């Protein structure tokens, strides 16, 4: 006899409405604009002047945020929505993620407490396995660029030259081993890389503002809690990093 109340089938998972990388971009743009607004507030001017704050930073942030947001809008409008990848693309994407994963683990070890926000630079918790090959490749390039240079932007525990070289090689290998995209896709890939570069610049400018605010409004001073919140600083301890 059939069960009169069969177990209902699970509801299908909803499709993501926006790519991982775009969500990260929009968050950084919003946070950077908040920094620019707080830094430009006349009420904060005197204290920031004492610590020799660069008063051009708010305008730099606003200009770069506007340009980056416009670029994102154009990219969203021209990029075809791709719901499925070829088997070749999926294999390449997964191989790239396998190289990225240990570096993400090292970033989790390094960036804790007040520095946890820097994990976003390594796309931690951002759902890369659901992204396209192009998006994962762009994330890999952004991660690689933080680890190279003299000196590098970040030094992660256990991540040495061999791991960085492997990541650089993977970026090249899994791009060239996949059928070359058409003209519009090439333009989109270039635009996405430019956006990622701008987001990195925005994060750097925002961090400069926060460091100046940390110096101008130490958390132990009275009456600074709301000001520190406007700069996204902790109110019960100093900023780290």
Q: What is the pLDDT of residue 141?
A: 87
What's the pLDDT tens digit per position in 177-223?
555 444 555 556 677 778 888 998 999 999 999 999 999 999 999 99
Instruction: Give CA–CA dist 61/55, Å, rounded.
Output: 11
Instruction: List the structure tokens of 227.
Output: 């000001």
The packing angle between helices 57-78 and 183-216, to 10°, is 150
Domain limits, the chain: 20-230
Q: What is the pLDDT of residue 60?
A: 97
Query: Is the previous residue joined to 44 through a cis bond, with omega within 30 degrees of 0?
Result: no
Classify residue 42 as exposed, middle or buried by CB count within 10 Å of its CB (0-12, 13-18, 19+): exposed
Q: What is the pLDDT of residue 14?
A: 44
Classify residue 122 as exposed, middle or buried by CB count within 10 Å of its CB (0-12, 13-18, 19+): buried
Instruction: List the structure tokens of 25.
Output: 């971009």
Of 125, 118, 22, 5, nearest to 75 by C-alpha is: 22
* C-beta of residue 62 within 8 angstroms of C-beta of residue 36: yes
Instruction: List the structure tokens of 147.
Output: 């680890």
Please work out, in degrees rounded to the nearest 5, the angle formed at the alpha carbon of residue 136 by the alpha carbons of 131 and 137: 145
pLDDT at residue 71 greater than cutoff 50:
yes
What's the pLDDT tens digit per position in 5-64?
555 555 544 444 445 667 788 889 999 999 999 999 999 999 999 999 999 999 999 999
3-state secondary structure of 178: coil
Instruction: List the structure tokens of 168.
Output: 């650089």
Q: What is the pLDDT of residue 67?
A: 92
Please count the other Cβ atoms lying within 10 Å of the Cβ belonging to residue 62.
16
* C-beta of residue 228 within 8 angstroms of C-beta of residue 236: no
Of 25, 27, 19, nearest to 134 by C-alpha is: 19
Find the distance separating the first CA and the last CA of the chain, reported in whole Å: 66
* Mean pLDDT of the chain, nearest integer: 83
Instruction: Give CA–CA dist 166/11, Å, rounded.
Output: 40
Measured in whole angstroms, how far is the alpha carbon of residue 195 from the centre of its chain? 11
Q: What is the pLDDT of residue 117?
A: 75
* C-beta of residue 211 within 8 angstroms of C-beta of residue 232: no
């Amino acid at each position: 006899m059939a069960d009169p109340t069969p177990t209902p089938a699970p509801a299908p998972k909803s499709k993501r409405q926006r790519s991982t990388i775009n969500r990260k971009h929009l968050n950084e743009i919003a946070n950077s604009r908040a920094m620019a607004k707080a830094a430009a507030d006349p009420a904060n001017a005197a204290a920031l002047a004492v610590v020799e704050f660069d008063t051009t930073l708010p305008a730099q942030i606003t200009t770069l945020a506007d340009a980056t947001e416009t670029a994102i809008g154009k990219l969203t409008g021209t990029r075809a929505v791709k719901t499925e990848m070829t088997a070749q693309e999926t294999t390449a994407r997964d191989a790239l993620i396998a190289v990225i994963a240990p570096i993400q683990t090292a970033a989790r070890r390094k960036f804790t407490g007040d520095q946890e926000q820097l994990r976003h630079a390594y796309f931690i918790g951002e759902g890369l396995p659901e992204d396209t090959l192009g998006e994962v490749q762009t994330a890999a390039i952004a991660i690689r660029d933080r680890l190279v240079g003299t000196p590098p932007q970040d030094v992660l525990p256990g991540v040495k030259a061999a791991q960085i070289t492997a990541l650089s090689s993977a970026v090249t290998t899994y791009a060239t081993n996949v059928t070359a995209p058409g003209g519009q896709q090439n333009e989109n890939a270039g635009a996405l890389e430019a956006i990622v570069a701008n987001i990195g610049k925005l994060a750097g400018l925002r961090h400069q503002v926060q460091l100046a605010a940390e110096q101008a409004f130490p958390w132990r001073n009275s009456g600074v809690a709301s000001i520190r919140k406007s700069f996204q600083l902790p109110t019960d301890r100093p900023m780290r990093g």
